[in-house]
Amino acid sequence: MKRYITGLALIFSATIGRAADAPAQAHLDAARAAAGTQWANRVESFCRASATPKPPRGPLPVTLPEVPDWPEPPARIFDNVYFVGSKGVSSFAIVTSEGIIITDAMWAYDVEKSVAGGLKTLGLDPAKIRYVIIPHGHPDHYGGAQFLHDRFGAKIVAPKGDLDLISSGPAHDTTPIPKAYDLIVGDGDTLTLGETTVTFSVVPGHTAGGVVLSFPVTSKGVAHRMLIWAAGGSTPGKPAGQQQQAEALQRLIGLAQSTGMDALADNHGSHILVEAMRAHPQAGNPFLIGNKSLIAYLTMRQQCNLARLADTGAATSNAAATSQ
């Protein structure tokens, strides 16, 4: 009799597991379908199951060491946009008739060399930096803001939903927290300098209020629209963030469709595309992927969030069934 009950419990548990797994699989299939061949190698990282989260990282060292191979030579990637980041964080300079917008404040120890030094190498004047944007409230993206403000008078732009996160900063970290903000932005807010308007879209999940940026660019005189993914990915095992990021991605897909976004960069890892441009100057601009491909990318990320969310539900159901 006892064996029979145990067997029933196992069948019950397995049934719950299968029922809850089905939506996760459906979203995983949808993510793969959206990804096609172009984004196929990204599905695994974005859809990684909540059951296998990354191991927790240890605390950051008190003084963050400069990584020896950190620097990346600056480069012009569009008529009006320059890469001034490093191998660790990707920052861009949007050049307008009224001055320069820096899209990511980077680490405090990296900003002088990468942003100020990068602009000088490119023949641009860092004194013309008018704004520096903090896209989300982690120290690798706000650390250099105060420096650019103090040295060049840059106005500091920060996302409303991450102000508490920035002000609470990691206790073990020496990254300077901005003393004040000149512009606090939320979903749909814009920043205009000269002829260029940057639109901010809030994408929670990595942090509460991180933003992605979209703005017009030209390539050899032809108009395009660029999206910089700067809000981070959702964390496996955190369903609220996955749900919020999936909903934000739905809004962003709508915006990408209505505005024809067709160029994509990320605030981490874009140096790889810069290196590709440098190695193959005659090939097409790797940031310029087309509207269809950009929407496919966003759809893949959204379906991966939904797959993780469903997977988290399955894990919860299984745990409940097992404990009964």
Q: Which is nearer to Zn ion, 232 or 286 (CB)?
A: 232
The residue range among 26-34, 115-123, 130-138, 254-262 that interacts with Zn ion, by the rule CB under 5 A, is: 130-138
Q: Rounded to whole angstroms, how far apart are CA atoms 118 and 85?
A: 8
Per-residue interface string for the shown chain with Zn ion, residues 176-215, x marking contact by CB under 5 A: ----------------------------------------
**Residue 273: which of 102, 76, 79, 33 has the closest Cα?**
76
Cβ 232 vs Cβ 206: under 8 Å: yes
Decide: is 238 part of the binding site for Zn ion (CB under 5 A): no
Decide: is 138 part of the binding site for Zn ion (CB under 5 A): yes
Cβ 93 vs Cβ 124: under 8 Å: yes
The residue range among 79-87, 121-129, 135-143, 196-204 that interacts with Zn ion, by the rule CB under 5 A, is: 135-143
The residue range among 56-64, 117-125, 232-240, 310-318 that interacts with Zn ion, by the rule CB under 5 A, is: 232-240
Cβ 190 vs Cβ 198: under 8 Å: yes
Decide: is 232 part of the binding site for Zn ion (CB under 5 A): yes
Decide: is 241 part of the binding site for Zn ion (CB under 5 A): no
Alpha helices in 69-162 (DSSP H): 108-111, 118-121, 139-142, 145-152
Decide: is 236 part of the binding site for Zn ion (CB under 5 A): no
List, in order, residues 6 or more apart from 204 with CB less than 8 Å away: 161, 210, 231, 241, 244, 245, 248
Decide: is 27 part of the binding site for Zn ion (CB under 5 A): no
- CB 45 to Zn ion: min, Å: 15
- CB 319 to Zn ion: min, Å: 29
Side chain identity, residue 93: A
**Which residues are near Zn ion by CB under 5 A?**
138, 232
